[in-house]
C-alpha cells in the first residue's frame, strides 16, 4: 500500500542521514577534515535551513517574500543575547531565536500577506531592512560594530537542526495542510471557494518559515564569532532567494542541492576575490538561460527512485518564473 | 429545518459598484432537491449573482440565507463550509497538481487532523489522510476520472477538466451546488453526457442545484424552474414552458419587435 511505502522510505532516509552525520562527526573529530572544510560544511548546513524554510513560503505557498534575512537577523541577535548576556544554554538560545522570528513572522505576516506579488515582495523587503536598521541602532547589541559571540555551533547541533527542518517541512507539505498551501499557490480564488482559509495558511507557512530562519540565525551567530547588522542586509535575502530559484521553485530537494552547490562555489571562489562576484553572477546567468525552471525543476530527489510517480508537477516552460 | 423553509432564500439582494447597480432587488428561493436554471443575456449579472452567493462580493443590499442561516458578509471559505460550493465559468483548477490532489483539497475542510499531528506524523494524520484519499477516489469514480488520477489537471482534455471541476465542487460536500456554465465549450454529445451526470449526482447526493447556462437545450431539458436575469434584475421566473413563451424574455434575448 502506498502509505506504507512512504513510511518505509521516510525511516530509510532518516537512518541514512544519521549514518552520514556520524561519519562526518568522526572525520571532524579525527582531524581528517581541516577547518576550512568544516567551515564550508557549516555554511552549507545553515544555507540549507534557510533555503528550505524560504522554499515553504515561496515554492509551496507561492508568496513572494524577500525579507528572509530579517528573520535570520532576529534569530541571530536573540540567540546571541540569550547565550552572551543571559548566559543560558545553547539549545534554549536556538529555540528562543526561532520562536522570536516566528512571532515576528506572525506580526509581519498578518498585514502584509493581504498583498500579492510585487507588493508583497516590496513589503517584505522593507521588513528586512527595518530589522537591520533596528539592530544597527540598539547599543545593547553593539550597534554597527556588532556583537561578539562564542563559538557554540557544533556538527551534531547543526545536522540535527538541518534534519528537523527538512522533516518538518516535508511532513507539512505532504499533508492536507501542505496541499492547502499548494492550492493557494495554484489558484487563490479557487482555494477560497473550496473552503480553505487562505489567510490562515499563508500566515502559517510564513510563521513556520520564519521559525526555521530564526533557528538558522542562532546557528549562524554561534558559528561566525561575530554578528553585525551589515551581514543581514537585503543582499543576504537575495542570496537565500537565489538558492530557492536556482534549485527550482517547486522542488525542495532542489533548494537543498542549490544550497550545497552554491555554497561550495562561493567558498572556493573566495580564493579569487577580484573575480569572485563576476564568476558567481555568470554562473547564475548561465543557469537561468539554460535551465530557467531551476536545477530540479519540479522534481523531487525521491522521484528518481519511483517510476512515473510525482505528486507535485509543474510547468516546464519556466515562463512563470521570470518574476524571480 | 422545517419542510417548508426554502434551502436558499435570497431577499432583495443586490450589489452596486460605485454608481453601477450590477445586481439589484433579486428575490429567489430554492427548495431542497430542486434543480433550477439561471439564464440571461451576456452581462446580465449572472456570475456576479453567484459571487454574491459565495461571498466573493458582499451584498450592498438585501440578505441571503441558507437553511435559515444568514450568509451576508461571511468569508468565502466559511460559506463553503456552510454548504454552498461552486464551479467557475473560466475553469479554475489547481493546474500543476494531480487530479487526485485537486479533489483531496476540496475535502480539506473536513480534515480532522491538526497541523501538529501531520508534522509529527501521529496516528490521526495517517487515518485522516487515508480517509481523504478513499473519499477522493470514490468521487473520481463517479465522474469516471479515476483512471487519470495521477495526471496533472492542466493536461486533461477540456471536457474532463470541466468534469473535474464539478467533482471538486462536489467533494466539498455542499447542500447547494452552483454550476457556472458547466457546458460551455462542450460539443452536443458531451453536453448530453453532462446532463445525465448532473441528474445522477443530484439523485445520489440529495443536492439542490442552481445552474447558469447558455445552452438552452440543457437548461430547458433538465431544469424544473428557471429564473431570467437581465440588466441585474429578475425579469421572469417559471417553468421552462412559461419562460419560453414569456414576451419579456424573448425581448431581452432578441430585442423589441420593430413596429
* pLDDT 10s digits, A224-243: 889 999 999 888 999 999 99
For position B57, what pLDDT does the model report?
A: 92
For position B137, what pLDDT does the model report?
A: 94
Separation of alpha carbons B89 and B109, rounded Å: 23
Read off the CATH number of the domain in which B25 is found: 3.40.50.300
Separation of alpha carbons A175 and B118, rounded Å: 6
Q: Is B14 exposed, middle or buried (0-12, 13-18, 19+ CB in 10 A)?
A: buried
Task: Name the residue with higher pLDDT: A281 or B30.
Answer: B30
Separation of alpha carbons A201 and A150, rounded Å: 37
**Looking at chain A, how many residues does it have?**
324
Helix (H) or strand (E) holding B244: helix B240-244
Q: Work out the minimum CA distance from A132 to partner chain B, whole angstroms.
A: 32
The answer to the question of residue B125 being in a domain is: yes
Do the chains contact at B77 and A192, CB–CB below 8 Å? yes
Query: Which whole-number Å values give the CA distances from A314 to A239, A294, A298, B151, in the listed order?
Result: 24, 12, 5, 11
For position B30, what pLDDT does the model report?
A: 93
> pLDDT digit string (tens) for A29-55?
888 888 888 999 999 999 999 999 999
The answer to the question of residue B179 being in a domain is: yes
pLDDT band at A312 (very low <50, low <70, confident <90, very high): very low
For position A201, what pLDDT does the model report?
A: 95
pLDDT band at B257 (very low <50, low <70, confident <90, very high): low
The answer to the question of residue B2 being in a domain is: no
Separation of alpha carbons A126 and B231, rounded Å: 45
pLDDT at A89 over 70: yes
The answer to the question of residue B68 being in a domain is: yes
pLDDT at B27 over 80: yes
For position A311, what pLDDT does the model report?
A: 39
The answer to the question of residue B29 being in a domain is: yes
pLDDT band at A323 (very low <50, low <70, confident <90, very high): very low
> pLDDT digit string (tens) for B142-175?
999 999 999 999 999 998 999 999 999 999 999 9
Domain enclosing residue B86, as ranges = 8-254
Mutant choice from B85, B92, B167 vs A, greatest count of A C-beta within 10 A: B92
**Looking at chain B, how many residues does it have?**
259
Which residues of B, range 51-70, sit inside 8 Å of A by Cβ?
Answer: 54, 56
Query: Which whole-number Å values give the CA distances from A128 to A74, A101, A122, A234, A287, in the listed order?
Result: 10, 12, 10, 7, 27
For position B38, what pLDDT does the model report?
A: 93
* 3-state SS, residue B8: strand
Q: Which pTM does this prediction carry?
A: 0.88
Indicate the number of domains in chain B.
Answer: 1
Chain A hits for B118, CB-CB cut-off 8 Å, are: 171-172, 175-178
Query: Alpha-carbon dihedral of residues A21, A24, A26, A30, nearest 10 degrees?
Result: -160
| Arithmetic mean of pLDDT, B46-70 | 92
For position A261, what pLDDT does the model report?
A: 92
Query: Which whole-number Å values give the CA distances from A248 to A166, A199, A243, A265, B156, in the listed order?
Result: 16, 25, 9, 18, 24
- In the numeric block, which cell numbers belong to residue A180? 492547502
Helices and strands (H and E) in chain A: how many = 12, 2
| Arithmetic mean of pLDDT, B214-231 | 88
| Arithmetic mean of pLDDT, B114-124 | 90
pLDDT at B226 over 90: yes
For position A12, what pLDDT does the model report?
A: 85
Separation of alpha carbons A58 and A313, rounded Å: 16
ipTM entry: 0.90
The answer to the question of residue B137 being in a domain is: yes
Do the chains contact at A195 and B172, CB–CB below 8 Å? yes
The answer to the question of residue B50 being in a domain is: yes
For position B218, what pLDDT does the model report?
A: 84
Chain B hits for A186, CB-CB cut-off 8 Å, are: 93-97
pLDDT at A295 over 70: yes
Domains and CATH numbers, chain A: 36-323 (1.10.3470)
pLDDT at A308 over 70: no
Average pLDDT, chain B: 90
Chain A touched by B82 (CB under 8 Å): no
For position A321, what pLDDT does the model report?
A: 33
Do the chains contact at A193 and B85, CB–CB below 8 Å? yes
Q: Work out the minimum CA distance from B171 to partner chain A, whole angstroms.
A: 9
Nearest to A127 by CA among A63, A183, A185: A63
For position A284, what pLDDT does the model report?
A: 83
Chain B hits for A308, CB-CB cut-off 8 Å, are: 150
Mutant choice from B50, B55, B76 vs A, greatest count of A C-beta within 10 A: B76
Average pLDDT, chain A: 87
Do the chains contact at A204 and B56, CB–CB below 8 Å? no
For position B1, what pLDDT does the model report?
A: 45
Chain B touched by A8 (CB under 8 Å): no
| Arithmetic mean of pLDDT, A247-254 | 89
For position B139, what pLDDT does the model report?
A: 93
> pLDDT digit string (tens) for B89-103?
999 999 999 999 999
Q: Are A247 and A292 in contact (CB under 8 A)?
A: no
Chain B touched by A307 (CB under 8 Å): no
What are B233's strand-pairing partners?
B230
Instruction: Compare CB distances from A183 to B98, B105, B150 and report the shortest one's residue.
Output: B105
pLDDT at A318 over 50: no
The answer to the question of residue B259 being in a domain is: no
For position B4, what pLDDT does the model report?
A: 66
Chain B hits for A315, CB-CB cut-off 8 Å, are: 96
For position A203, what pLDDT does the model report?
A: 95
pLDDT band at A317 (very low <50, low <70, confident <90, very high): very low
Place of cell 481523504: B132
Instruction: Compare CB distances from A171 to B98, B119, B168 and report the shortest one's residue.
Output: B119
Chain A touched by B80 (CB under 8 Å): yes
Chain A hits for B56, CB-CB cut-off 8 Å, are: 189, 192-193
pLDDT at B195 over 70: yes
pLDDT band at A176 (very low <50, low <70, confident <90, very high): very high
pLDDT at A214 over 70: yes
Do the chains contact at A311 and B152, CB–CB below 8 Å? no
Do the chains contact at B152 and A313, CB–CB below 8 Å? yes
| Arithmetic mean of pLDDT, A289-299 | 84
Chain B touched by A175 (CB under 8 Å): yes
Helix axes B123-142, A2-29, angle to 10 degrees: 140
Task: Name the residue with higher pLDDT: B255 or B74.
Answer: B74
pLDDT band at B259 (very low <50, low <70, confident <90, very high): low
pLDDT band at A80 (very low <50, low <70, confident <90, very high): very high
Do the chains contact at A172 and B93, CB–CB below 8 Å? no
Chain A touched by B104 (CB under 8 Å): yes
Cα angle: A260, vertex B119, A174; to 5 degrees: 70
Amino acid at each position: 500500500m502506498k502509505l506504507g511505502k512512504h513510511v518505509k522510505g521516510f525511516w530509510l532516509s532518516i537512518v541514512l542521514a544519521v549514518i552520514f552525520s556520524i561519519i562526518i562527526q568522526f572525520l571532524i573529530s579525527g582531524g581528517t577534515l581541516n577547518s576550512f572544510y568544516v567551515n564550508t560544511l557549516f555554511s552549507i548546513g545553515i544555507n540549507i535551513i534557510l533555503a528550505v524554510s524560504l522554499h515553504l513560503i515561496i515554492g509551496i505557498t507561492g508568496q513572494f517574500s524577500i525579507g528572509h534575512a530579517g528573520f535570520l537577523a532576529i534569530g541571530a541577535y536573540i540567540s546571541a543575547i540569550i547565550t552572551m548576556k543571559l548566559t543560558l544554554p545553547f539549545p534554549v538560545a536556538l529555540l528562543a531565536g526561532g520562536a522570536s522570528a516566528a512571532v515576528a513572522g506572525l506580526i509581519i505576516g498578518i498585514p502584509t500577506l493581504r498583498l500579492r506579488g510585487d507588493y508583497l515582495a516590496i513589503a517584505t523587503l522593507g521588513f528586512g531592512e527595518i530589522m537591520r536598521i533596528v539592530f544597527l541602532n540598539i547599543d545593547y547589541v553593539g550597534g554597527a560594530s556588532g556583537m561578539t559571540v562564542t563559538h557554540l555551533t557544533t556538527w551534531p547541533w547543526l545536522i540535527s537542526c538541518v534534519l528537523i527542518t527538512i522533516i518538518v517541512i516535508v511532513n507539512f507539505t505532504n499533508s492536507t495542510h501542505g496541499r492547502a498551501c499548494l492550492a493557494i499557490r495554484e489558484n487563490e480564488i479557487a482555494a477560497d471557494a473550496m473552503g480553505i482559509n487562505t489567510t490562515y495558511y499563508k500566515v502559517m507557512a510564513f510563521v513556520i518559515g520564519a521559525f526555521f530562519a530564526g533557528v538558522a540565525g542562532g546557528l549562524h551567530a554561534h558559528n561566525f564569532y561575530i554578528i553585525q547588522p551589515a551581514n543581514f542586509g537585503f543582499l543576504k535575502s537575495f542570496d537565500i532567494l537565489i538558492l530557492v530559484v536556482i534549485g527550482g521553485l517547486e522542488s525542495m530537494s532542489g533548494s537543498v542541492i542549490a544550497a550545497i552547490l552554491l555554497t561550495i562555489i562561493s567558498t572556493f571562489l573566495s580564493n579569487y576575490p577580484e573575480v569572485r562576484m563576476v564568476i558567481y553572477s555568470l554562473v547564475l546567468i548561465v543557469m537561468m538561460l539554460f535551465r530557467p525552471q531551476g536545477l530540479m525543476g519540479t522534481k523531487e530527489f525521491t522521484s528518481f527512485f519511483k517510476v512515473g510517480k510525482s505528486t507535485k508537477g509543474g510547468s516546464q516552460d519556466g515562463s512563470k518564473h521570470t518574476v524571480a | 429545518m422545517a419542510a417548508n423553509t426554502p434551502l436558499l432564500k435570497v431577499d432583495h439582494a443586490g450589489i452596486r459598484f460605485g454608481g453601477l447597480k450590477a445586481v439589484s432587488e433579486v428575490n429567489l428561493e430554492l427548495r431542497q432537491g430542486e434543480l433550477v436554471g439561471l439564464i440571461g443575456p451576456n452581462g446580465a449579472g449572472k456570475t456576479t449573482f453567484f459571487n454574491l452567493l459565495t461571498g466573493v462580493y458582499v451584498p450592498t443590499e438585501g440578505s441571503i440565507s441558507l437553511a435559515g442561516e444568514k450568509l451576508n458578509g461571511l468569508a468565502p471559505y466559511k460559506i463553503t463550509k456552510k454548504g454552498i460550493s461552486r464551479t467557475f465559468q473560466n475553469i479554475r483548477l489547481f493546474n500543476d497538481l494531480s487530479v487526485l490532489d485537486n479533489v483531496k483539497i476540496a475535502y480539506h475542510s473536513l480534515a480532522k487532523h491538526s497541523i501538529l499531528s501531520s508534522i509529527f506524523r501521529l496516528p490521526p494524520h495517517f487515518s485522516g489522510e487515508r480517509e481523504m484519499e478513499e473519499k477522493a477516489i470514490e468521487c473520481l469514480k463517479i465522474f469516471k476520472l479515476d483512471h487519470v488520477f495521477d495526471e496533472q489537471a492542466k493536461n486533461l482534455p477540456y471536457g474532463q477538466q470541466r468534469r473535474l471541476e464539478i467533482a471538486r465542487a462536489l467533494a466539498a460536500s455542499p447542500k447547494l451546488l452552483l454550476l457556472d456554465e458547466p457546458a460551455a465549450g462542450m460539443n452536443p454529445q458531451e453536453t448530453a453526457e453532462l446532463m445525465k451526470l448532473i441528474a445522477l449526482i443530484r439523485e445520489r447526493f440529495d443536492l439542490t442545484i442552481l445552474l447558469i447556462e447558455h445552452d438552452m437545450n440543457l437548461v430547458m431539458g433538465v431544469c424544473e424552474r428557471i429564473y431570467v436575469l437581465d440588466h441585474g434584475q429578475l425579469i421572469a421566473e417559471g417553468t421552462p414552458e412559461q419562460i419560453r413563451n414569456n414576451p419579456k424574455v424573448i425581448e431581452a434575448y432578441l430585442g423589441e419587435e420593430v413596429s
